[in-house]
Amino acid sequence: MTPASPDDGAWGFPNRAIPVGSAAYYAVRFCPPEQRERNALLLAWYELVQEIVEQHTDPGVARLKLDWWRQEVSLLSVRRCRHPLTVALQNTGVGAGSEIPMSAIIEAADDEIRSPQVHDDGAFTANCRRSFGGLFVLLNRLDGLAPEGERSCVECGGYCAAVERIRQLSRSPQRVPPDLGTATLRQSPAEWRTQRLDALLAAFDSTPTRPLPVLAARLLALSKAMHKKIRNSGYPVADTLVERAPIALLWTA
Protein backbone atom coordinates (compact mmCIF):
# COMPACT_ATOMS: atom_id res chain seq x y z
CA MET A 1 0.00 0.00 0.00
CA THR A 2 1.82 3.08 -1.28
CA PRO A 3 0.83 6.45 0.21
CA ALA A 4 -0.09 9.22 -2.17
CA SER A 5 2.99 10.51 -3.99
CA PRO A 6 2.76 14.06 -5.30
CA ASP A 7 5.62 15.19 -7.49
CA ASP A 8 8.94 16.08 -5.95
CA GLY A 9 8.21 19.80 -6.05
CA ALA A 10 5.42 19.40 -3.50
CA TRP A 11 7.95 18.66 -0.76
CA GLY A 12 10.44 21.51 -1.11
CA PHE A 13 10.54 24.66 0.98
CA PRO A 14 7.85 25.77 1.71
CA ASN A 15 5.51 22.78 1.54
CA ARG A 16 2.06 21.84 2.83
CA ALA A 17 3.49 20.96 6.26
CA ILE A 18 5.18 24.36 6.53
CA PRO A 19 3.04 26.89 4.65
CA VAL A 20 4.24 30.47 4.33
CA GLY A 21 3.50 32.41 7.51
CA SER A 22 3.34 29.39 9.81
CA ALA A 23 5.55 28.88 12.86
CA ALA A 24 7.34 25.99 11.15
CA TYR A 25 7.93 28.16 8.08
CA TYR A 26 9.85 30.76 10.06
CA ALA A 27 11.73 28.09 12.00
CA VAL A 28 13.00 26.59 8.74
CA ARG A 29 13.45 29.93 6.99
CA PHE A 30 16.01 31.08 9.55
CA CYS A 31 18.04 27.87 9.50
CA PRO A 32 21.36 27.91 7.63
CA PRO A 33 20.72 27.76 3.86
CA GLU A 34 22.41 24.37 3.56
CA GLN A 35 19.94 22.88 6.08
CA ARG A 36 16.76 24.54 4.84
CA GLU A 37 15.65 22.04 2.22
CA ARG A 38 16.49 19.03 4.38
CA ASN A 39 14.64 20.43 7.37
CA ALA A 40 11.58 21.24 5.27
CA LEU A 41 11.55 17.66 3.98
CA LEU A 42 11.93 16.20 7.47
CA LEU A 43 9.00 18.23 8.81
CA ALA A 44 6.90 17.16 5.82
CA TRP A 45 7.76 13.50 6.46
CA TYR A 46 6.97 13.82 10.16
CA GLU A 47 3.63 15.45 9.31
CA LEU A 48 2.73 12.61 6.93
CA VAL A 49 3.31 10.08 9.70
CA GLN A 50 1.25 12.13 12.17
CA GLU A 51 -1.59 12.46 9.67
CA ILE A 52 -1.87 8.68 9.59
CA VAL A 53 -2.37 8.74 13.36
CA GLU A 54 -4.72 11.71 13.52
CA GLN A 55 -6.91 11.21 10.45
CA HIS A 56 -7.37 7.46 10.09
CA THR A 57 -10.79 5.81 10.22
CA ASP A 58 -9.54 2.23 10.03
CA PRO A 59 -6.69 1.24 12.40
CA GLY A 60 -5.76 -1.75 10.26
CA VAL A 61 -5.33 0.37 7.14
CA ALA A 62 -3.42 3.00 9.11
CA ARG A 63 -0.97 0.41 10.41
CA LEU A 64 -0.47 -0.92 6.88
CA LYS A 65 0.49 2.59 5.82
CA LEU A 66 3.01 2.75 8.66
CA ASP A 67 4.40 -0.63 7.57
CA TRP A 68 4.97 0.84 4.13
CA TRP A 69 6.87 3.76 5.67
CA ARG A 70 8.96 1.35 7.74
CA GLN A 71 10.05 -0.35 4.54
CA GLU A 72 10.68 2.99 2.86
CA VAL A 73 12.88 4.22 5.72
CA SER A 74 14.88 0.98 5.60
CA LEU A 75 15.72 1.78 1.96
CA LEU A 76 17.49 5.02 2.88
CA SER A 77 20.65 3.07 3.69
CA VAL A 78 20.86 1.65 0.16
CA ARG A 79 19.50 4.76 -1.60
CA ARG A 80 16.58 2.89 -3.15
CA CYS A 81 13.65 4.91 -1.82
CA ARG A 82 10.50 5.13 -3.93
CA HIS A 83 8.42 7.98 -2.51
CA PRO A 84 9.34 11.43 -3.89
CA LEU A 85 9.71 12.75 -0.35
CA THR A 86 12.20 10.13 0.79
CA VAL A 87 14.02 10.29 -2.55
CA ALA A 88 14.45 14.02 -1.93
CA LEU A 89 15.66 13.30 1.62
CA GLN A 90 18.26 10.90 0.20
CA ASN A 91 19.48 13.68 -2.04
CA THR A 92 20.03 15.99 0.94
CA GLY A 93 22.25 13.44 2.67
CA VAL A 94 19.73 11.67 4.90
CA GLY A 95 20.90 8.06 4.93
CA ALA A 96 21.62 4.98 6.99
CA GLY A 97 22.25 6.86 10.23
CA SER A 98 18.69 8.18 10.18
CA GLU A 99 16.96 4.81 9.96
CA ILE A 100 16.84 4.11 13.72
CA PRO A 101 15.39 7.47 14.86
CA MET A 102 12.94 7.59 11.94
CA SER A 103 11.80 4.04 12.68
CA ALA A 104 11.33 5.00 16.34
CA ILE A 105 8.99 7.82 15.29
CA ILE A 106 6.98 5.34 13.21
CA GLU A 107 6.82 2.92 16.17
CA ALA A 108 5.49 5.71 18.39
CA ALA A 109 2.80 6.43 15.80
CA ASP A 110 1.91 2.72 15.63
CA ASP A 111 1.52 2.59 19.40
CA GLU A 112 -0.85 5.56 19.30
CA ILE A 113 -3.01 3.85 16.70
CA ARG A 114 -3.18 0.65 18.75
CA SER A 115 -3.96 2.58 21.94
CA PRO A 116 -5.55 5.87 20.83
CA GLN A 117 -6.67 7.17 24.23
CA VAL A 118 -3.92 8.52 26.47
CA HIS A 119 -4.62 6.85 29.83
CA ASP A 120 -2.64 9.04 32.22
CA ASP A 121 0.06 11.68 32.54
CA GLY A 122 2.83 9.12 32.15
CA ALA A 123 1.47 7.92 28.81
CA PHE A 124 1.03 11.51 27.67
CA THR A 125 4.62 12.50 28.41
CA ALA A 126 5.94 9.26 26.89
CA ASN A 127 3.98 9.80 23.66
CA CYS A 128 5.20 13.38 23.35
CA ARG A 129 8.83 12.43 23.98
CA ARG A 130 8.75 9.56 21.52
CA SER A 131 7.11 11.55 18.73
CA PHE A 132 8.45 15.11 18.47
CA GLY A 133 11.25 14.31 20.89
CA GLY A 134 12.24 11.61 18.42
CA LEU A 135 12.34 14.18 15.64
CA PHE A 136 14.71 16.35 17.68
CA VAL A 137 16.96 13.30 18.21
CA LEU A 138 16.96 12.75 14.44
CA LEU A 139 17.98 16.37 13.88
CA ASN A 140 20.72 16.03 16.51
CA ARG A 141 22.26 13.11 14.63
CA LEU A 142 21.95 14.74 11.23
CA ASP A 143 23.59 17.92 12.53
CA GLY A 144 26.47 15.86 13.93
CA LEU A 145 25.97 17.03 17.51
CA ALA A 146 27.13 15.10 20.58
CA PRO A 147 25.03 12.08 21.61
CA GLU A 148 25.01 13.49 25.14
CA GLY A 149 22.61 16.14 23.87
CA GLU A 150 19.93 13.62 22.97
CA ARG A 151 18.32 13.70 26.40
CA SER A 152 17.68 17.43 26.00
CA CYS A 153 16.33 16.73 22.52
CA VAL A 154 13.83 14.22 23.89
CA GLU A 155 12.72 16.58 26.67
CA CYS A 156 12.51 19.73 24.56
CA GLY A 157 10.84 18.01 21.63
CA GLY A 158 8.42 16.35 24.02
CA TYR A 159 7.58 19.74 25.50
CA CYS A 160 6.85 21.14 22.04
CA ALA A 161 4.52 18.23 21.29
CA ALA A 162 2.78 18.67 24.64
CA VAL A 163 2.12 22.37 24.05
CA GLU A 164 0.60 21.58 20.66
CA ARG A 165 -1.57 18.78 22.04
CA ILE A 166 -2.88 21.09 24.74
CA ARG A 167 -3.53 23.80 22.16
CA GLN A 168 -5.57 21.30 20.15
CA LEU A 169 -7.18 19.35 22.99
CA SER A 170 -10.74 20.29 21.97
CA ARG A 171 -10.10 18.76 18.52
CA SER A 172 -8.17 15.69 19.67
CA PRO A 173 -9.21 14.97 23.27
CA GLN A 174 -7.91 11.39 23.07
CA ARG A 175 -4.35 12.72 22.90
CA VAL A 176 -4.43 14.19 26.42
CA PRO A 177 -5.16 12.49 29.79
CA PRO A 178 -8.86 11.64 30.37
CA ASP A 179 -9.41 14.28 33.07
CA LEU A 180 -8.55 16.95 30.50
CA GLY A 181 -11.56 16.31 28.31
CA THR A 182 -13.32 19.33 26.85
CA ALA A 183 -16.43 19.02 29.04
CA THR A 184 -14.39 18.61 32.23
CA LEU A 185 -12.18 21.60 31.53
CA ARG A 186 -15.10 23.86 30.63
CA GLN A 187 -16.82 23.01 33.91
CA SER A 188 -13.67 23.34 36.03
CA PRO A 189 -12.54 26.53 37.78
CA ALA A 190 -10.01 28.50 35.75
CA GLU A 191 -7.48 28.24 38.58
CA TRP A 192 -7.67 24.43 38.61
CA ARG A 193 -7.33 24.28 34.83
CA THR A 194 -4.22 26.45 34.90
CA GLN A 195 -2.62 24.49 37.75
CA ARG A 196 -3.42 21.15 36.09
CA LEU A 197 -2.00 22.06 32.71
CA ASP A 198 1.00 23.84 34.21
CA ALA A 199 1.83 20.65 36.10
CA LEU A 200 1.45 18.53 32.98
CA LEU A 201 3.90 20.69 31.04
CA ALA A 202 6.28 20.95 33.98
CA ALA A 203 7.02 17.23 33.54
CA PHE A 204 9.29 18.20 30.65
CA ASP A 205 12.72 19.72 31.18
CA SER A 206 12.51 22.36 28.46
CA THR A 207 15.80 24.04 29.36
CA PRO A 208 18.45 22.33 27.22
CA THR A 209 21.73 21.43 28.92
CA ARG A 210 23.56 21.22 25.60
CA PRO A 211 23.14 23.08 22.30
CA LEU A 212 20.12 21.87 20.34
CA PRO A 213 20.06 21.44 16.57
CA VAL A 214 19.32 24.78 14.90
CA LEU A 215 15.80 23.84 13.80
CA ALA A 216 15.00 22.28 17.17
CA ALA A 217 16.10 25.42 19.02
CA ARG A 218 13.86 27.60 16.85
CA LEU A 219 10.88 25.27 17.25
CA LEU A 220 11.42 25.24 21.02
CA ALA A 221 11.42 29.05 21.16
CA LEU A 222 8.20 29.16 19.16
CA SER A 223 6.55 26.57 21.41
CA LYS A 224 7.54 28.49 24.54
CA ALA A 225 5.99 31.63 23.08
CA MET A 226 2.80 29.73 22.23
CA HIS A 227 2.72 28.21 25.72
CA LYS A 228 2.95 31.70 27.20
CA LYS A 229 0.09 32.91 25.03
CA ILE A 230 -2.29 30.05 25.78
CA ARG A 231 -1.44 30.20 29.48
CA ASN A 232 -2.07 33.95 29.60
CA SER A 233 -5.41 33.23 27.90
CA GLY A 234 -6.31 30.76 30.67
CA TYR A 235 -5.69 27.66 28.55
CA PRO A 236 -8.88 28.22 26.54
CA VAL A 237 -11.00 25.24 25.53
CA ALA A 238 -12.47 26.27 22.20
CA ASP A 239 -12.89 24.98 18.68
CA THR A 240 -10.99 28.02 17.40
CA LEU A 241 -7.29 27.49 18.02
CA VAL A 242 -5.10 30.10 19.67
CA GLU A 243 -2.77 31.53 17.03
CA ARG A 244 0.11 33.97 16.99
CA ALA A 245 0.41 36.65 14.32
CA PRO A 246 2.99 35.99 11.58
CA ILE A 247 5.01 39.03 12.64
CA ALA A 248 5.22 37.61 16.18
CA LEU A 249 6.33 34.25 14.80
CA LEU A 250 8.99 35.95 12.69
CA TRP A 251 10.47 37.79 15.68
CA THR A 252 10.47 34.67 17.86
CA ALA A 253 12.13 32.50 15.21
pLDDT at 1 over 50: no
What is the percent of the chain where pLDDT is above 70? 96
Average pLDDT over residues 202-231: 97
| Mean pLDDT computed over 119-142 | 98
Taking alpha carbons only, the member of 144, 148, 133, 146 closest to residue 216 is 133
Range with the poorest average pLDDT among 5-19, 176-190, 218-232: 5-19
**Does pLDDT of 127 surpass 60?**
yes
Residue 5 clears pLDDT 80, i.e. is over it: no
CB atoms within 10 A of CB 241: 12
pLDDT tens-digit readout, 67-78: 999 999 999 989
CA 78 vs CA 82, 95, 133: distances in Å = 12, 8, 26
Res. 24 pLDDT band, cuts 50 70 90: very high
| pLDDT given for residue 9 in this prediction | 56
CB 76 within 8 A of CB 100: no
Give the pLDDT score at 6. 44
* Higher per-residue pLDDT: 43 or 96: 43
| Spatial distance between the Cα atoms of 12 and 89, rounded to a whole number of angstroms | 10
Q: Please tell me the predicted confidence (pLDDT) of residue 100.
A: 96
Average of per-residue pLDDT across 192-220: 96
pLDDT at 32 over 50: yes
Which CATH code fits 8-252?
A: 1.10.600.10
Residue 14: predicted pLDDT: 92
Single-letter amino acid code for the residue at 214 = V
Percent of the chain whose predicted confidence (pLDDT) is above 90: 82
DSSP per residue, 48-111 = HHHHHHHH-S-HHHHHHHHHHHHHHHHGGGGT---SHHHHHHHHTT--GGGHHHHHHHHHHHHH
Predicted TM-score (pTM) of this structure: 0.94
77: phi then psi, degrees, rounded to nearest 5: -65, -25
Average pLDDT, the chain: 93
Q: Average pLDDT of 177-196?
A: 92
Give residue 119's pLDDT: 95
| Cβ count near 91 (within 10 Å) | 14
Quick: pLDDT tens for 9-23. 588 899 999 999 999
- pLDDT of the residue at 253: 83
Asked if 43 and 136 count as a contact pair (C-beta separation under 8 A), the reply is: no
